[in-house]
A and B are shown apart, each in its own frame.
Chain A
Amino acid sequence: MDLRFTGAVPTDEEREAVDACLGPPEDGWEGGARTAADLRSSRGGHAARGRRDRLLPALHAVNDRIGWISEGALDYVCRRLTVAPAEGYGVASFYAMFALRPRPARVLHVCTDLACAARGAAALTASLEGLLGPAGATSGGVRWQPSPCLGLCERAPAALAVQAGVPRDQDGAHAVAHLADAPRAYGTAVVGPATAGTAELAAAAPCAAPGEPPAENAVPQAGGDGLVLLRRIGRADPESLDGYRALGGYTALRRAFALGPAGVIREVLDAGLVGRGGAAFPTGRKWEATARQPERTHYLVCNADESEPGTFKDRVLMEGDPYALVEAMTIAGYAVGAHRGYLYLRGEYPRALRRMEHAIGRARTRGLLGDDVLGQGYAFDIEIRRGAGAYVCGEETAIFNSIEGMRGEPRSKPPFPVERGLFDRPTAVNNVETLVNVLPILERGAAAYAAVGTAGSTGTKLFCVSGTVRRPGVYELPFGARLRDLVELSGGVPEGRRLRAVLLGGAAGAFVRPDELEIPLTFEGTREAGATLGSGVVLLLDDSVELPRTLLRIAEFFRDESCGQCVPCRVGTVRQEEALHRLARPARTEADAAGDVALLREVGAAMRDASICGLGQTAWNAVESAIDRLGVYAGDLPADGLPAAGGPEHPVDGGSV
């Protein structure tokens, strides 16, 4: 491939950042100093192009160190990896966390998504405007910008401060002398619940900001009996491998080796485990189909790109019990015949990244990952890939494109991932929570696992309770519990408030009414009720929340996050948002409103039927349910948008729990 590069020159610091990620260039063709030897040989072909999957890490390296990606830096990255500059630009401009124009080193991402909006994000952004100026403007070396859900919903309203570059002390010298001591070229701070003051302080000096509360604070049931997936959170030190083993860690992997790959798959099939990422596909069938492929190289991908607004369970699992995921991925890799697992981790999860890096490193030194896992002759290792701010990359085929260094656009299926997935090889891709479920299945046996829950939904489920609720957090309940149980467990809405709606399953899910709390929390039960469990989001909204505003935020989210590949989603999400804007106008007439609702239905039906991937197919779900079940835009309803029925004090309303 005879590529033409732009000739833009990287700064020394940019070059250093890229070389720290990719290693020094081997010759002049790769962007190193030209020597006479370069005139006699050149590099090219598959070997040179085969490193395309390092593109995202290299872009991260520049963005982390400098804060943005200049033309010189992008050209150097492309040269190093034999990527056409146009394609490199296409990839870099796909991700929200990368900037291709100069921006200050310190950026404050302020979540304005559903859960934070229900808990005062609007007031937070308003006072930030007072302190730091409008969003996107720079003040005092800090830029703040609104962000989609940061997955910090239990601490809403939340903000994430990022500082690019190795932190320096006041003399301007490097505060940390060696890269080995400072493996990260950037600093982060998580603030929540944030005020404009705490957020500004954290943004000004993320490295000096107070640390985060421990992960178990996000688990109100922590330490309690009856927990399965969350049982170690708050009990074991998430940094300590010995602590993990003392609480039953690595017994499942031993059992897996005793059973053999086919035996593991049999157990998972018998346990009735289905995927927890939203699609509820039987995990055992996916593994079986992957393992059966005659192609030699198989891959495992763990989807930790948790970006559904209101979802934070995978973050809590990774922060609170990181070794569990390492063990579960090893078992999954063993079952499907993979020797390499990729953990695609959301870019906005700094602590989960630290914990997982640490856990994987420890497991490696102790022989629990590597060439000979547990002395059983099975080789397996895990590589972490950081996402860079794209919801669509949680789609099971977009995640492959993202890892491979392409734009994170979903592929069309068939072929399915089990046949042609990552690097076109058979791949099993599973959500974090799904994988972690494999541990109790192997520890207790399929029958004991399946005894919990219902016939159609076995085991326990994690629920991300957020919004206007007294005790937000991750809750674990056996399948079959009622929505009411969960709402009561979390304390319901605050004192003096009335529950108005519950959003089940996130932005791609559906609203249910306060009189529908008897819905059983199972895949089949929610489906029957016309809702979905989705990723386990349970977002409570009380009567202080303006529903049209919430719907508008959902529509904005899908418009922003559409990859733009197919027409129904690319344009449909824009038309949906426009119609919702018109509906939110106070001056609208009944006829206009009816017309816009009809338009929404038509656009929604086409998005659902004709979009390539789940993003477009579900982009209209929540809005549809709000119209049909909550009657948001119906003229004959009371001003607060609730159906007139509802009766006296509801047991889950504030004041009576």
Chain B
Amino acid sequence: MTAIPLQLPRRLVEFTLDGRQVRVPEGATVLDACRAEGTEIPTLCHGDTLTPKNACRVCVVEVEGARTLAPACSRRVDPGMEVRTGGARVRHSRKLVLELLASSTDLSTTPHVAGWIREYGARPDRFGPDAATRAGQEPKVDNELYVRDYGKCIMCYKCVDACGDQWQNTFAIAVAGRGFDNTVSVEHDAPLTDSACVYCGNCIEVCPTGALSFKSEFDMRAAGTWDESAQTRTTTICAYCGVGCNLTLHVQGDEIVKVGSPHDNPVTHGNLCVKGRFGFQHVQNRE
């Protein structure tokens, strides 16, 4: 059973979505409205537990009267506004965003993106073989728990926000550099083990591309043994302390290969600490 937090009833606002009159609670974003209406909008940098940075721009929609397109994930619905989600301008920008991202980043472990690339007719290879890319850089493996593969990073800022003031308040990582050369980094690009990182893994929980992953997943992928179809997911309760966080154990064969946490948990919102996230080895230690 999911707990429903109590809140004051919200006023409804009415607006036009793709020609239909739609009513949504005041304060809802265009994306909320689209999801409630069953209109599909691709998203990458939007996270259900974070305030979106609207950096990826793949969710753009057309708002009548606006000079530029608006990000559905963070534009709030105004009464009477007219939104179109599927016009030529919208499709063009989404296609280009997908092309620009796929030509500069390794999206091989990003869910849904292959389908969107087909749907929007994106051709990432048309920028030529010499197009600058961040893909292919050496993954940063500097600790036993998780791996940072920034060749797969789309700079969605979600890990930074989860590490910083939106959840963890550890501030171990930040965006450094500028422009195409920007990157998520600890101070002076030091190894994680020399940083403020507390290994809560909440950055992995929100990473939309697999740039951040459990070392166990990274190693299994490298060995070719990672098989999501053979995995079960079991939600249980962390046994370490009295808070009672929910854990979702991803099990392949007889091994826990990854630990997540349900985002709709009203207490933890998908966040864990190092013990819940990574302290599972004792379960499968057979010696």
Contact = CB atoms under 8 A, between A and B. Distances in A.
Q: Do A and B bind each other?
A: yes
Interface stretch (A368-376, A486-494, A609-617, A629-637): A609-617
A564 B173 contact: no
B101 A571 contact: yes
Contact of A560 (B104, B169, B176, B179): B179
Given A86-B186, A611-B57, A617-B68, A567 B100 contact: yes
Interface in B147-182: 154-155, 157, 164, 169, 171-182
Contacts of B190: 6
A574 interface: yes
A568 interface: yes
B92 A605 contact: yes
B272 interface: no
Interface string B45-74: 000000001111110100000001101001
B: contact size bracket: 35 or more
Interface in B232-275: none
A89 B179 contact: no
B179 A563 contact: yes
A259 interface: no
A94 to B, nearest CB: 5
A578 B132 contact: yes
Nearest to B131: A578
A420 to B, nearest CB: 14
A561 B181 CA distance: 11
Contact of A575 (B100, B171, B178, B188): B100
A90 B175 contact: yes
Contact of B154 (A87, A414, A567, A606): A567
State the main secondary structure of chain A at its contact with B: helix
A85 B97 contact: no
Interface in A72-101: 74-75, 84-90, 93-94, 96, 100
Contact of A599 (B76, B104, B126): B126
A145 B69 CA distance: 38
B96 interface: yes
Interface in B190-209: 190, 194-196
Contacts of B172: 4, 84, 86
Contact of A602 (B54, B92, B177, B194): B92
A241 B211 CA distance: 59
A86 B196 CA distance: 9
B131 A4 contact: no
A578 B128 contact: yes
Nearest to A88: B187
Contacts of A611: 57, 68
A570 B68 contact: no
A602 B180 contact: no
Nearest to A100: B188
A563 B157 CA distance: 13
B103 interface: yes
A552 B278 CA distance: 50
B155 A86 contact: no
A559 B179 contact: yes
* Of listed B56, B126, B185, B187, residue having the most chain A CB within 10 A: B187
A565 interface: yes
A510 to B, nearest CB: 16
Interface in A523-560: 559-560
25 contacts: A3-B196, A6-B187, A6-B194, A71-B188, A86-B173, A86-B187, A86-B196, A87-B164, A87-B171, A89-B174, A560-B179, A562-B179, A566-B55, A567-B56, A567-B58, A568-B93, A575-B100, A575-B103, A578-B131, A603-B100, A609-B68, A609-B69, A609-B92, A610-B69, A611-B68
Q: 5 nearest interchain CB pairs?
A: A84-B171, A606-B96, A90-B174, A564-B182, A571-B100
Interface of B: 53-58, 60, 68-69, 71, 74, 76, 89, 92-93, 96-97, 100-101, 103-104, 126-128, 130-132, 154-155, 157, 164, 169, 171-182, 185-188, 190, 194-196
